[in-house]
Chains A and B, each alone.
Chain A
């Protein structure tokens, strides 16, 4: 067996560790507001929309319509459109209405994704790579994008923290007390959408849901304040990610994001059971 320390200090592993820390920040900021607003389904919807966007970007590149069209841009455009449509439907604060809109968008973007992927057969592996994701294959460019987005998400959340909490708690009341609730509503959804797009590359369309939703959902089970949810969801996401990487370093064939996904979802169920007592 190779020396774990050597593996953990290799460049691809260092990039993965940095990515895990950044993802943990996203999980604690964008993730906690996703849970407060009862919009966990938005993360799944946006992730699959992003997939369709990435497939479209690959298609445009492949057929030479827009050569070099970046996948991540295609993904971001589709993700943002989905978030804005859902946001428009639920602009008065009705999460139930948004769920329906997200569900329909989910079906639509998945249809588009499958259609596009079937048209780009030779390159479909690029699109499928986004479904599974691989934190060990992140390039420096991916990492830079993740860093910038994470900083934007953290900065915006800290700046509008109190407004985000108020709007999540009581949108109508927020407006009555002079908060531009609708504006913050859209800003929150945009942050969630952008977070999903950048985390997608690292953990894949399926597990992005686990990484963004589960840590905050677990922390929300036992926390008394929003600050506590932020701190604990960061810890849970970081713990899951690091353990995933260590396991992957020990056993080469194990996908680190899957281990991370298992740990953070398990933490939710444990928190659920413990807090019921």
Chain B
């Protein structure tokens, strides 16, 4: 659907809050806490599709709000949103999808976030508060970003902002949770890995750990892909993902989260050795080299895809 940029607010030198309305003025589809939209960002040579969590309240149908961090060495998407997006511009967005919903059967929600990972929890907050749900939220950020994040977080004894690693004792926090607690983690990969590993060490089962990550796609060595059905060759450059290269070639492969987690972008591999960076494929499929998640994975050899 076509959206229109209705407002842009700088929260700091690297973080902006952008409000989107429907270009035709209609009510937007209802989105849930944890939902994201894909923005089709127009670059000079190609369109980037970047995923952003909605931070607006779920029942807000007059506008969607996202928060965009300008990524250092950005390959384009966030840089364009910071440097070129302007109020009144039209931009295509996907319908909201929710890969990070609040667990309805939990009786307490423990939220851990860092940096831009704050975004889905900003949407969780009004829902948890309206339902008088039991929750505890710890957000970590760099000292320099503290004023921007402090302004986003309401005060309350259930919400703590940490500007140094030392004030968050993960083992103690995760070790004292009652049985009816679920854990939600969102932030940079390294932060999430540490949090999840600590939880697992303390005996948290996988079913109680919920993770959201975007932008898992980093660059890497260039490689070549042959598409068996479309009968074309595509070169994947060092700064783009396989999915982006296919899109730049004019194709429309499936995708949803663009972070290697949901499974939507999986394509069958006919020949070649993929380099897996996703969180979705089973160990067997990984070892068999029979499939690849195009949004985050790359290849060590020429790949032939059944597409």
**A and B: partners?**
no
A interface vs B, CB < 8 Å? none
B interface vs A, CB < 8 Å? none
